[in-house]
Structure 1
Amino acid sequence: MSPQKNHFVVGNHQSWLCGSLLLAINLIIFFSLTSPVLAQTSPLTPRQSENLIIQSNIDGDFQVPLYKSGVIELEERAKRISVGNPGIADILMLHSRQLYVVGKALGTTNVVVWDNNERVFASFNIEVVHDLDMLKRKLHRLLPGEVIEVHSAQERIILSGQVSSVVKMKAAEDLAQGFLPECISAESNVLVRDTTQGTPIIIQQGEGGRGASGANQEGCKKGSVVNLMQVGGAHQVMLEIKVAEIARTVLKRFDSNFNVFSFDSPWKLGANSGGASFPNALTPSGNEVPILGSLNGEDSPIGPVVDLFQPNTPGIQDKGVFLSYLSSKFFLEAVLEASRQKGLAKVLAEPTLTTLTGQEAQFVSGGEFPIPVPQSGITGNVTIEFKEFGVIVKFLPLVLDSGRINLKLNVAVSELSQDVPVTVGVQGTESTFVIPSLTKRSAKATVELADGQTIGIAGLINDNLRELVTKLPGLGDVPILGALFRSQEFMSGQTELVMFVTPHLARPISPQQVKLPTDSFVPPTDLEFYLMGRMEAREMSNSSPSSQGIIDIGPESHRFGHQL
């Protein structure tokens, strides 16, 4: 019996060893698999735990960032809560003194809390706002040194404060645009949670808020950024523009027109230069027919047809000579026009304009001329529209961080011209309107300059030549005498145009340093006006008040530019 008993004990010992070994292997495998998870889920630090607790503001309300969560701690034990609009925030009661809040959509809702005695002991508002903390960190990291305040008002982000340049203002505004949700839905729901039975009971109506498909919901709207930031520093830009043009024209003209007609015999002979008309002849019955008559010879014209010859009346536009002879059987009329014209024109415009950086400014110095516009219909009504001419300047300056100035320019200088006028008639009436043309020089460019630098934005050198000869073949080629049978015109024009711009960072000056163009004008006395013929009085000998404030620091002092 002993051997059998010992064998039984050994068998039990082996079974226990096998079970222990299997448990050890399982524990090793378990800890080897769970060790990375345990390493990653280390306990939160006290500071991280405090960040999860949502603190109330001065009014006792709570703010939750959009799509983020937090914990609200209650002062007493709660039994039941009610959420005004669960489309704004999801609220879950973790236990009797903690509420877990998740922001779902921008807006405000309220929470009512009951205790175990069915008594309302707390009521507070929860406002879901933009992620302002993250936006502030981005602004501080990307735009250091800029004093920018960030606020949230429903679906809008409000930026205020002061920045150093317009470029940084635009960057802050673009950065805030990225924190706006794509869609904001404002549907209302009712949610009640009760924990009396241990498991929350949810009573909900509707599906508010913004889900993954919120952009496709009806009633969706887009948020916006309200920019209340100001640009600090002296960022007023004064732009000086110079438009200089000189044009030279030379016109040579020689024109010959003559009419010769002899009617001494049945044969009529004549010559013309300058145009003429030959009216139709008359038949015996008094009808007008072509000069050649009918082809079959019937109803042929009668009378001397050429007696109705009507030459165009020659004239002299500028300078020339003429000859005329008339007898009972002979008529001679000749006009020779020879002229030479030289023209010189100078245009100099120097407009100056000042505006704030980032703001467009416009300057117009000139006038407006009327343009009649006939209206459709048979009434013959005409409306008048006006078109500007003169010096027109538009520019948009931007002061960069480096102090350089970026300019978008549009400069135009125009004047009335009678070179190519347009005549417009009114339907149903005999009235006509002559509309003048415009000679225009314009330039549109974008440049970048430092304070006080000058650059040419446009230039033109134009040299044109035109010749026109009209002559009678054969006779017009005869030397010397051939000049009587031809007309010649020679036109040459040269134009030089240049436009310069000079931007300055404008700063205010003392009123004592301002001198107006009219300060130096003194009206003449009666003696100077009637006897001396002067339009203004002689220049005063005493120095002007503005020059008395100038301090001469020695022979090395110099002044440059226009002196007022």
Structure 2
Amino acid sequence: ATISDPSTGLSASTGFSLSNAASTAGSMFGLAVQTANFAALISFLETQGTVHVLSSPRVAAVNNQKAVLKIGTDEFFVTGVQTTTNSTTTGNTVSPSVTLQPFFSGVVLDVTPQIDEKGNILLHVHPSVSQVSTINKSVNLGTAGSLNLPLAASATSELDSIVRGQNGQVVAIGGLMRQASTADDAQLPGTGKVPVLSTLFGSKKRVNQKRELVVLIKPTIVEGVNNWNDDLLDTSRRIDQLDPRVRGIR
């Protein structure tokens, strides 16, 4: 499975081909597309914008049993504050105590395969990509004053989908989009507070960026040792194709 994050939206239809898919690019899609050419699908995504491969794991699962893959880190943040008042001969003192909990940043993918008698593969897919950042908050403790605490701000993209695929075919799932806007103001020193000078000697730049989470899964039915070894070799070749140095991309 490969989880990528193009910076623009895209569309596609079943029976994937680069010609008809590129003609309708620009809107998000929620259907699964299938192709045997993994590198071609990655190349198509790159025509829609910058592609960042977040993870490219490989996991084995038993029929009708869930497989979970988790890649990332846990960071501890403050989730609660309690104060304790201690009475002494000189007066009362208030001591705060904080409660810490872990917050996960990274990629989580759980998939449940179901294979029918004709070899069709039904996949229940639930990917999640989370990123936790730190924000500082000031908490009023009353007579003890205030306490600055590092709190967690979590951004999560996840989807839950059921798709039908074929053995050895790549299934692409997309549709989770988010938009971010950033502003950059540049000014000469000393001119920022003067309206006329800030306009003449400054610049303002606003960038709007759309990001979409795309999940690529290649289900393979392993019927014996030979199939397993062949799949390992195919995975190695696929990873080489994703390497920008091998593909001549700088």
TM-score normalised over the length of structure 1: 0.27
What's the secondary structure of 2:65's corresponding residue? coil
- The answer to whether the 8 A contact 1:460-1:495 is kept is no
Structure 1 residues 453 and 424: CA distance shift in structure 2, 3 A:
farther
Q: Which residue of 2 aligns with 1:353?
A: 59
Question: Which sections of structure 1, spanning at least 5 residues, go unmatched?
Answer: 1-240, 249-343, 470-474, 517-545, 547-558
Matched residue, 1:442? 158
The corresponding residue for 2:27 is none
* Alignment equivalent of 1:494, drawn from 204, 209, 219: 209
Distance 1:507 1:513 in 2: 11
Deviations 1:290-336 (A, max 9, x none): xxxxxxxxxxxxxxxxxxxxxxxxxxxxxxxxxxxxxxxxxxxxxxx
2:6·2:211 contact (CA, 8 Å) conserved in 1? Answer: yes
| Residue 168 of structure 2 is aligned to residue 452 of structure 1 | yes
Letter in 2 for 1:385: Q
CA gap 1:247/1:563 in 2 versus in 1, 3 angstroms: closer
* Counterpart Cα distance in 2 of 1:503 and 1:356: 12
Hey, what does 1:244 align to over in structure 2? 4
**Distance change in 2, residues 1:372/1:563 (3 Å):** closer
SS in 2 for 1:352: coil
Relative to total residues, which structure has the larger strand share, 1 or 2?
2
Task: State the shift of 1:496 in Å.
Answer: 4.2
Query: Cα distance 1:499–1:364, how it changes in 2: closer, same or farther (>3 A)?
Result: same
1:369 is matched with: 75
- The question of whether the paired residues in 2 share the 8 Å contact of 1:455 and 1:501 is answered with yes
**CA 1:466 to 1:503, structure 2 compared with 1: closer, same or farther past 3 Å?**
same
Q: Partner of 1:506: helix, strand, or coil?
A: coil
Task: Describe the SS at the equivalent of 2:199.
Answer: helix
Indicate the residue corresponding to 2:137 in structure 1. 423
Deviations 1:380-410 (A, max 9, x none): 2212111222111112222223221221111
Letter in 2 for 1:492: V
Q: What root-mean-square deviation, in Å, do the aligned CA atoms of Structure 1 and Structure 2 show?
A: 4.1
Q: Deviations over 1:199-237 (max 9, x none)?
A: xxxxxxxxxxxxxxxxxxxxxxxxxxxxxxxxxxxxxxx
Classify the secondary structure of the residue corresponding to 1:371.
Answer: strand
1:410/1:422 CA distance change after superposition, 3 Å? farther
Cα distance in 2 between the residues matched to 1:242 and 1:372: 33
Higher-RCO chain (CA-CA 8 Å, sequence separation at least 6): 2
Deviations 1:121-176 (CA, angstroms, capped at 9, x unpaired): xxxxxxxxxxxxxxxxxxxxxxxxxxxxxxxxxxxxxxxxxxxxxxxxxxxxxxxx
* Equivalent residue runs for 1:24-35 within 5 Å: none
8 Å CA contact retained: 2:159, 2:176: no
Q: Distance in 2 between matches of 1:352 and 1:440?
A: 22
**How far does residue 443 in structure 1 lie from its aligned partner after superposition?**
2.0
Per the TM alignment, residue 462 of structure 1 is displaced from its structure 2 partner at its CA by: 5.9
Answer whether contact 2:81 2:98 (CA < 8 A) is retained. Answer: yes
Structure 1 residues 355 and 464: CA distance shift in structure 2, 3 A: closer
The 1:466–1:390 alpha-carbon spacing in structure 2 relative to 1, beyond 3 Å, is: closer
Alignment of 1:545-564 (within 5 A): 561-562=238-239
CA shift, 1:504, in A, is: 1.5
**Structure 2 residues not aligned, in runs of 5+:** 9-49, 85-94, 186-193, 242-250
Matched residue, 2:245: none
- AA partner of residue 139 (structure 2): G
Shift of 1:364: 0.8
Aligned in 2, Cα 1:448/1:458: closer, same or farther, shift over 3 Å? Answer: same
Match of 1:63 in 2: none
Distance apart, 1:415 and its partner CA = 3.1
Q: Which residue identity is paired with 1:494? A: Q
Contact 1:374–1:426 at 8 Å: present in 2 too?
no
- Tell me, in whole angstroms, the C-alpha distance in 2 between the residues paired with 1:426 and 1:505: 59
Contact preservation (8 Å) 1:398, 1:405:
yes
The answer on whether the counterparts of 1:467 and 1:488 sit within 8 Å (CA) in structure 2 is no
Identity, in percent, stands at 17
CA shift, 1:493, in A, is 3.2
- Matches of 1:461 and 1:374, distance apart in 2: 32
Instruction: Quote the Cα distance in structure 2 between the aligned partners of 1:375 and 1:506.
Output: 52
Structure possessing the higher radius of gyration over alpha carbons? 1
Amino acid at match of 1:401: E
SS of the residue corresponding to residue 503 of structure 1 reads coil
**What SS does the aligned partner of 1:380 have?**
strand
Partner of 1:28: none
Distance in 2 between the 1:491 and 1:412 partners?
Answer: 29
Equivalent position amino acid for 1:413 in 2: V
